[in-house]
Each structure stands twice: as structure tokens, then as C-alpha cells.
Amino acid sequence: MKHILLALLLLVLPVVAGAETLRSEADTLALSRKMMDVAMTQPPGAAFAVLKPYWPMDPAEIDGQTSNAGIQWQVIEARFGKPLGYELVKTERIGQSFVRYVYLQKFEKHALRWRVSFYRPRDAWMTNNFAFDDQLESLYVEH
């Protein structure tokens, strides 16, 4: 019986361990979209929590940003109104090692810019940086 349980554990363990691994750039895009889906219905802390399993640093860093964002969110909703939708406006890469997605989250009266970056040091991707703000000027492309 112990051998059967051990065999089952060895079969399941790689699946569980790999459940929080971003193997491809497509996985990073899917995770960033999941973050934005959550941001449409919940405060930023819940959106940041989507990234937390893929954050290689101390989880307290995300917790600190979550706390600050919660305070800001009350002001944002009061000034900008309710969220209406979001769109991916930019994908940027640095070589084969970094990718950053920039989203525009639209509200009734204004919009926010969300950025999330991923880093691939070897063969798996991890969350590298994330933020939101209302600095939209950088999104305009000058010709």
C-alpha cells in the first residue's frame, strides 16, 4: 500500500509543482489577461494576488504594494467612476529574456495604465514587475 501511495505521489508531484510555472510567453500573456480580468471586478490587491505565485522575491513585497493600492483604489473609483473595460495596447520585449504588457483600463471618466513584466532567466518565466498609474502620455506614439 505504501508503494502505491508513493507511486501516486511521484506521479502527482510534478503536476502540482508545475502548476505555478510559466513555460512560454503565451503563458505570461494569459496570466496578464487574468490579472486584468480580476482588476475589472476587484481592487488591485486581488489582481496582484494573481501574480503572487510567480513572484520569485519575498511575498511581503506584493503584500506591501497591495496595501498601498487599496488606499489609492478608493480615490480612483471616486474620481474616475466604474471600470468599463480594458485593452492590451503594447507588448515590449528585451531580447528573449523580458516581456512587458501594457494595458489601458477604461473607466467612466478617465483611464489607468497597467504594466506587468516577466523575466525568463533560464527556461521558465516569472513575474518581474507590475504597477498601475494614470500616466497616459507615454502611450501616445509620436510620428
**For the whole model, what pTM was predicted?**
0.81
Task: Give me the helices (H) in 19-55, please.
Answer: 25-39, 44-51
Report the mean per-residue pLDDT for the chain.
Answer: 84
Instruction: Dump pLDDT digits (tens) for 86-137.
Output: 999 999 999 999 999 999 999 999 999 999 999 999 999 999 999 999 999 9
C-alpha–C-alpha distance, residues 77 and 85, integer Å: 14
C-alpha–C-alpha distance, residues 38 and 138, integer Å: 24
Decide if pLDDT at 13 tops 50. no
**Candidate ranges 18-27, 74-83, 103-112; pick with highest mean pLDDT:** 103-112
Note whether 142 and 116 are within 8 A (CB): no
Q: Kindly indicate the confidence band of residue 3, based on its pLDDT and cuts at 50, 70 and 90.
A: very low
User: Cell triple for residue 77?
Assistant: 473609483
